[in-house]
Amino acid sequence: MNERYVIQSMYDYFKLAGKSAIVTGAANGIGAGIAETLSSLGVNVVACDIEDDALAEVARRLNEAGGTVTPLHCDIRRTEDIDRAVQTAVDSYGGVDILVNNAAGCGGGKKIDDIDDAEWDRLIELNLTCVYKFIMRVLPHMRAKKSGKIVNISSGAAITGDWSDPHYAAAKGGVISLGRELAVELAKDHIYINTIAPGLIRTRMVLPWESVEANNILVGRLGEPGDIGATTAFLASAASDFYTGQVLCPNGGSWMY
């Protein structure tokens, strides 16, 4: 088979070049991996985070590699920051084709007896309420185009439980349920919403336990941010047009779901 034909067929199938995306929590770890993967496939990315220096470095590196990435300070707890991120995508790239809700906060290893109401509210807001708010602000633009892909990043903790941070697991479980409910409501507008619940990924939160945790992964290694980037690219592309309301678990065989 002609190699050029194969390459063109793959390009047409995934159809990501020229699309626009907002990626939250893009300054490091999984978010940076997602931004890098999408950018390498021709997606115009508004990369959002509160870590300005790290975010600027990610954008510089990806733009030097030929991407189109706009770094934007965005605290997802501030409605005005969310509005600015959406407007930046509209003004710079003509709309929002893809939303990746990745930004999150962790609990720091707290048990249930260590959590007070304020700590509970903090993680529910960061990990669930802010996802809802971002979705609500991109929906008018996606509905106007009758198309859109929303990818929410949950966690294996929402599925298997964990040794601590029940408020984190609860919020990430809510992300899965929110995605399923909205998938039902939004399908008529050709807006498809799916969730990724990763296993252990090599990020700064996981590195202290890398050697221990890798022993429980069938493929023998931690995941890399690019592994989640690849899953996101699939869910953002036309290749996943028969997927909505689903949960994908890139976890190296840590659990079967």
Q: Top-level CATH class of 3-248?
A: alpha beta
CB-based contacts of 53, cutoff 8 Å, min separation 6: none
For the cut 80, the answer to whether the pLDDT of residue 208 exceeds it is: no
| 79-93, 110-124, 203-217, 238-252: the lowest-pLDDT one | 203-217
pLDDT category of residue 145 using cuts at 50, 70 and 90: very high
Average pLDDT over residues 4-11: 57
pLDDT for residue 15: 83
Residue of 5, 168, 192, 257 marked catalytic: 168
* Percent of the chain scoring above 70 in pLDDT: 91
For the cut 80, the answer to whether the pLDDT of residue 192 exceeds it is: yes
Rounded Cα distance, 105 and 89, in Å: 24
pLDDT for residue 84: 98
On whether the CB atoms of residues 142 and 90 are closer than 8 A, the answer is: no
Q: Return the ∠ at Cα 89 (arms to 85 and 92), rounded to 5°.
A: 125
pLDDT for residue 2: 60
* Percent of the chain scoring above 90 in pLDDT: 82
What does the pLDDT look like over 48-93, one tens digit per residue? 999 999 999 999 999 999 999 999 999 999 999 999 999 999 999 9
Give the mean pLDDT of the chain: 92
Would you list the domain boundaries of the chain?
A: 3-248
Average pLDDT over residues 138-148: 98
pTM: predicted TM-score of the whole model, two decimal places: 0.93
For the cut 60, the answer to whether the pLDDT of residue 7 exceeds it is: no
DSSP 67: -
**Which of 1-15, 200-214, 216-230 ranks highest by mean pLDDT?**
216-230
Average pLDDT over residues 146-174: 94
State the distance between the two ends of the chain, measured CA to CA, in whole angstroms.
Answer: 37
243 included as an active-site residue: no
On whether the CB atoms of residues 190 and 147 are closer than 8 A, the answer is: yes
Can you say how many angstroms the Cα of residue 41 is from the centroid of all Cα atoms in its chain? Answer: 16
